[in-house]
Amino acid sequence: LAERRASSLASGLDDGASEIAVPGEKQAEVVADPVQVSVASAASTSGATRLAPAVIALALWLGAFAVYLLRPAFPAKRLREALTARRLAFVGLWPAALIGLVQAALLVGVARLLGADLAEPVATVGVAVLAAVVFVAVHQAVVALAGQRRGWLISLAFLALQLVSLGGLLPVATASAPFGALAGILPVPLAAEALRGVVVAQSGAAVGAPVGGLVLWLLLAVAVSIFAAGRAQRTSVAEIRGVAAAC
């Protein structure tokens, strides 16, 4: 009886083994292909391509800092002219914005030459230009409100805060939770995230959120600059009246 059961079990195992499908060479290649594509995709987003968004955003911030290191928020000779505060703020902003535009185009070109694979080159330039304009507007607002020397110090302190929360150059995971949360609020991390979205051709929603954040920073900075321009005009007029009264 035992021998009969053993024979029956062995026969059943043989029948089951014969029914198992053995993949052919073509099936094996198809199964292996996704693994190869995944490895190639991971390699293509490494190196220059992975670092380009954060480096471009950081360089644009430093470029805006350098612009207002060399020039005031508002031209001194225009303070005494009959300009609206809005017009005065624009007069102080547009030359710096033009410089930022050139910087943005050059940085994207250099990134391309250094091997960054830009999935959307035109969109990358567009986002870089937006970031450049936002950054010069923020620096104008800070310098106009706090003065040139204090404005520089505030800009450097603000840069240090943004570096802590900036992904790409520094891993956000190494920062504490509050600093990591700031990555979705501060302008440089927002610019890096928007650039990353167009560099690797992410979905529109992934790019739209940081771009919207940059636009909000631009509107806030312009509003602060207009307020500071009006204050500077009143101060200038008061000084002129004081000099006239003294004479």
- The per-residue DSSP string of 162-191 comes to HHHH-TTTS-GGGS-HHHHHGGGTSHHHHH
Comparing CA positions, the residue from 210, 214, 226 lying closest to residue 144 is 226
Query: In angstroms, rounded to a whole number, what is the distance separating the alpha carbons of residues 180 and 47?
Result: 23
Query: In angstroms, rounded to a whole number, what is the distance separating the alpha carbons of residues 116 and 50?
Result: 8
Six-digit token string for 86? 């809005």
% of the chain with per-residue pLDDT over 90: 49
Six-digit token string for 170? 């520094």
pLDDT of residue 41: 45
Comparing CA positions, the residue from 82, 85, 132, 88 lying closest to residue 106 is 132
Q: Model confidence over 143-158: pLDDT tens digits?
A: 999 998 899 999 999 9
CA atoms within 13 A on the CB side of 228: 26
Residue with more model confidence, 240 or 42: 240
pLDDT of residue 42: 42
DSSP state of 46: S
195 near 124, Cβ under 8 Å? yes
Question: How far is CA 155 from its chain centroid?
Answer: 17
Comparing CA positions, the residue from 140, 206, 167 lying closest to residue 58 is 167
Residue with more model confidence, 239 or 89: 89
Which positions ≥6 away from 93 have C-beta within 8 Å? 136, 137, 140, 222, 225
pLDDT of residue 245: 52
Query: In angstroms, rounded to a whole number, what is the distance separating the alpha carbons of residues 50 and 112?
Result: 12
Q: Model confidence over 31-76: pLDDT tens digits?
A: 555 544 444 444 445 577 888 999 999 999 999 999 999 899 998 8
115 φψ region: left (φ > 0), alpha (ψ -120 to 50), beta (else): left
Please determine, for residue 86, whether its predicted confidence score (pLDDT) is greater than 50.
yes
Q: Look over the chain and give the mean of its residue pLDDT values, rounded to a whole number.
A: 81
Which positions ≥6 away from 194 have C-beta within 8 Å? 127, 130, 131, 207, 210, 211, 214
Long-range CB contacts (within 8 A, 24+) of 147-154: 148/68, 148/72, 148/73, 151/68, 151/73, 152/65, 152/68, 152/69
Query: In angstroms, rounded to a whole number, what is the distance separating the alpha carbons of residues 97 and 103?
Result: 10
